[in-house]
Amino acid sequence: MANTLLKVSGLKVAYGGIKAVKGIDLEVKEGELISLIGSNGAGKTTTMKAITGSLSFEAGDIEYLGQSINGQGPWDLVRQGLVMVPEGRGVFTRMSITENLQMGAYIRTDKDGIQKDIERMFGIFPRLRERKDQLAGTMSGGEQQMLAMARALMSQPKVLLLDEPSMGLSPIMVDKIFEVVREVASQGVTILLVEQNAQRALQIAHRGYVMDSGEITMTGPGKELLVDPKVREAYLGH
């Protein structure tokens, strides 16, 4: 059995009296690609922020590599290999693509390894190689999303959390992003993907969790959720 890398137990998060997340449990095992789907406002992004230490929570426990990480900040967690690509990308707009990738490796000291990984990123994301000296702020949304993912991978994450990577992108770019997510997963990176495009997310997921109004309402293999009548009606428009 694969090791559980990330385990969330009884997580509750409230904003000013509104219970955004109501005691959820989820786990991510080594080598899995897990999709967390649900409508807008279901609590998916809130869950991600709580896991990565950028939002405090009122109850529950988050374990990473078998240890509780409650109260640790995002920087501490990046050093331990738990890395999030936030919704909205957050690239360094006034730096070149290459400089952004170098920033992704700020916790590393192995210069040769960093250079090799930059080359590896250019292999996974050929479009970034073509524009490697271009300022990140001048790129399209889809290209910035690729850069944000590549930059996160430069820190050599054990678990990569992706928050709405296809949001606001053209259909062609959405295809490309999902291709890349699948490719990264095939290279052994464990992924937790939050995504409104339920169909695409479940197609590539080993397992999925369905979130509604702050609660996990269903879980199961991605392929099974994809054909489940309730999921199809609520999230797939059939």
> Structural domain tally of the chain?
2
Q: Which of 101, 123, 156 is the last residue before a domain boundary? A: 156
| 26 and 74 assigned to the same domain | yes
| 162 and 232 assigned to the same domain | yes
Q: What is the CATH number of the domain that holds 213?
A: 3.40.50.300
Q: Which of 156, 172, 207 is the last residue before a domain boundary? A: 156
| 141 and 96 assigned to the same domain | yes
Domain assignment of residue 152, given as a range: 90-156
Asked if residues 5 and 28 have their Cβ atoms less than 8 Å apart, the reply is: yes
| 99 and 35 assigned to the same domain | no
| 42 and 143 assigned to the same domain | no
Per-residue pLDDT of the chain (238 residues; tens, 9 = 90+): 679 999 999 999 998 888 999 999 999 999 999 999 998 888 999 999 999 998 889 999 999 999 999 989 888 999 999 999 988 778 999 999 999 999 999 989 999 999 999 999 999 999 999 999 999 999 999 999 999 999 999 999 999 999 999 998 999 999 999 999 999 999 899 999 999 889 999 999 999 999 999 999 999 999 999 999 999 988 876 5
